[in-house]
Amino acid sequence: MKPIHLNLAARPYRDYRPVYAVVVALSLLSAFLMLNNIETYYRYIHETKATRAKIAEVEEQARVEKAKEDTARQRVKGLDLAQLDQQTRFINAKLAERAFSWSRLLDELESILADDVRLMSVSPQFTVNGPIPLSMNFEAKSGDGMITTINRMNADPQFKNAFPSNETANDDGTYTFVLSVDYLPNAPQTAEVLR
Amino acid sequence: MIWREKRILLVILGALLIGNVIFFLTYRVQYQARLDEMDDRLAQAEGQLAKSRQGRADAERQLQAYKKVQAEVSNVFDEHWSTQPRRLTLLIAEIKRLADASNAIPRSYTFTGGEAHMEPTPGTRGRGGTVVGAKEVGIAYTVEASYDQARRMINLLELSQQFVIIDEISLSSSPEKKLNLNLRLKTLFRDEPQADATNRL
């Protein structure tokens, strides 16, 4: 006799337990991670709040400073630096001329000129720094006057590069000569000039 | 078959898990790195701020330096040189006063100049120039004096409050064994402002 197998199910039987196990596992894992992530997020937001505020503040300050810098740079660009530079150089040159001490130069010349030589004229070419070129006319009673004067200038550290450009014997027995020399007012004075 | 039937639920759960894992790896695992990154951003922002402050300070220093030099230039132009109408007569009076003080009174004076002073602009090689805003005036005179009187006159000119430059000195002897001192002086006057000149018209 053949046994009768009664199957009264409306749908075929399927074992969903593995699916539910995976769903539960995924859900638990997701829930755990989500809670952890939420905690992490709030902690991150909380811990970096001060830093983010500081960054925003600093960036704002930097923006303001940059704007001020740009304004100042624009103003600098608008300045006529070349004109001011020219005026400054010009003024410095004229102040150097004004500051030139003729009394000191004459004192120095008095100390080196021989008794038979006298100064007729002196004309400086002013420079802001460095030696001052002088063009000088002298009159001497003897023919040695020019040589003596050059030698004495060479022995004085305040004079440099003494060079004659002309010597003339006059009818009255005197000699006139022209010397160019570099004058260094700030050079140390000699204790004794060759006489 | 059973997986396919529940695929929507599984996909949603999978996506949720992947999202959480990514967030976890980004924020939790690299938490310190992100904090460090934030500190770096702060340091970078502070560096930028310092740079901007330095830049502004440099620019303002340049401006201040310009203003200072300009004030000094203006002081020389306005106070020491002034304009010709304001200072010329004072200068002449001062020179005459110094001549009196040194007992060496010239018989005549020669006045020259009045041209606007030009300074060569770099690179133009004399083809052009910048107007400096000043003009030079020369005063020359010859005086018969002893050497001591001549030295005194030169010394007084050097000490004068007027801006006067001794340009050249010439000496010659007179038959009476006195020196003929020829002095060439010069001074500078600021150009008159255009507005002033216009107002006088």
ipTM here = 0.71
The pLDDT value recorded for residue B201 is 36
What was the pLDDT predicted at B177? 66
Between CA B131 and CA A86 the distance in angstroms is 9
Whether the CB of A60 is below 8 Å from some CB of chain B: the reply is no
Q: How many domains does chain B have?
A: 2
CB pair distance less than 8 Å for B188 and A41:
no
Rounded Cα distance between B152 and B133, Å, is 33
Query: Looking at beta carbons, which residues of chain B come within 8 Å of A58?
Result: 42, 45-46, 48-49
Contacts of B77 in chain A (CB under 8 A): 87
In chain A, where the domains are located: 101-183
* Residue A188 banded pLDDT, cuts 50, 70, 90: low
What's the whole-number mean pLDDT along residues A21-31? Answer: 92
CB A119 within 8 A of CB A107: no
Query: What's residue A195's pLDDT?
Result: 38
Residue A86: predicted pLDDT? 86
Residues B44 and B25 in one domain: yes
Alpha-carbon torsion B152, B154, B158, B164, what sign?
positive
* Residue-level pLDDT at B147: 84
State what percent of residues in chain B have pLDDT above 90: 36
pLDDT digits (tens, 9 = 90+) for A79-94: 888 888 888 888 888 8
Query: CB distance B73–A83 less than 8 Å?
Result: no
Residue-wise pLDDT for A29-44, tens only, equals 999 999 998 988 888 8
* Cα separation, B99 vs B185, whole angstroms: 13
Quote the pLDDT of residue B176. Answer: 65
**Concatenated DSSP letters for A41-96?**
HHHHHHHTHHHHHHHHHHHHHHHHHHHHHHHHHHHHHTS-HHHHHHHHHHHHHHHH
Segment A121-144 shows an average pLDDT of 87
Q: Which residue of B has its CA nearest to A49?
A: B38
Query: Which carries the bigger pLDDT value, residue A48 or residue B160?
Result: B160
> How is domain A101-183 classified at the CATH fold level?
Alpha-Beta Plaits (3.30.70)
pTM recorded for the entire structure: 0.69
The residue out of B46, B80, B114 marking a domain boundary is: B80
Query: Quick check: B25 contacting A, CB < 8 Å?
Result: no
B187 and B130 in one domain? yes
Q: How much is the pLDDT for B83?
A: 87
Cβ–Cβ gap A37/B23 under 8 Å: yes
User: Are A184 and A160 contacting, i.e. CB atoms less than 8 angstroms apart?
Assistant: yes
B119 neighbourhood in chain A, CB within 8 Å = 86, 89-90
Residues B87, B176, single domain; the answer is: yes
pLDDT in tens, A5-14: 777 778 777 7
Task: Measure the CA–CA gap between B90 and B75, rounded to whole angstroms.
Answer: 18
For residue B197, what pLDDT is reported? 41
pLDDT, one tens digit per residue, over A90-107 is 888 888 889 889 999 999
Q: In this structure, what CATH number is given to the domain that contains residue B148?
A: 3.30.70.60
Q: What is the mean pLDDT of chain B?
A: 83
C-alpha closest to that of A83 among B73, B188, B82, B64 = B73
Residues B87 and B184 both lie in one domain: yes
| B132 and B53 housed in the same domain | no
What digits encode the pLDDT tens for the residues B79-136?
Answer: 888 888 888 899 999 999 999 999 888 988 999 876 656 555 444 444 445 567 888 8
The pLDDT value given to residue B162: 92
N residues, chain A: 195
Gap from B199 CA to chain A (nearest CA, Å)? 26
Same domain, B130 and B72: no
Question: Do B42 and A55 count as a contact with CB atoms less than 8 A apart?
Answer: yes
- Predicted confidence (pLDDT) at residue B5 exceeds the cutoff of 70: yes
Residues B21 and B59 in one domain: yes
Contact between chains at B49 and A106 (C-beta distance less than 8 A): no
For A14, the 3-state DSSP assignment is coil
State the residue range of the domain holding B58. 1-80
* Partner-chain contact A37 B28, CB within 8 Å: yes
Count Cβ atoms within 10 A of the Cβ of residue A82 and give its class: 0-12 exposed, 13-18 middle, 19 or more buried.
Answer: exposed
For B4, counting Cβ atoms within 10 Å of its Cβ (0-12 exposed, 13-18 middle, 19+ buried), the class is exposed
- Tell me: do B45 and B99 sit in the same domain: no
Query: Contact, A194 vs A152, CB < 8 A?
Result: yes
Report chain A's C-alpha Rg in angstroms: 51
* Integer Cα distance of B81 and B88 in angstroms: 10
Assess whether pLDDT exceeds 80 at residue A165: yes
Q: Is B171 within 8 Å of A120 when comparing Cβ atoms?
A: yes
Q: How far is A134 from chain B (nearest CA, A)?
A: 10
Check if the beta carbon of residue A62 is closer than 8 Å to that of residue B48: yes
| Range B147-156 average pLDDT | 90
The answer, yes or no, to whether residue A170 has pLDDT greater than 80, is yes
Do residues B109 and B47 share a domain? no
Find the mean pLDDT for residues A63-85. 88
User: Confidence band (pLDDT; 50, 70, 90) for B4?
Assistant: confident
Q: Domain end: B42, B65, B80, which one?
A: B80
Query: Do residues B91 and B76 both lie within one domain?
Result: no
Residue B104 and residue B195 in one domain: yes
> Does the structure show a pLDDT above 80 at B142?
yes
- Phi and psi (nearest 5°) for B102? -100, 10
Same domain, B100 and B196: yes
Closest alpha carbon within chain A to B119:
A86
How high is the pLDDT of residue A25?
92
Domain boundary residue among B80, B107, B140? B80
Flag whether residue A3 sits within 8 Å of chain B, measured between CB atoms. Answer: no
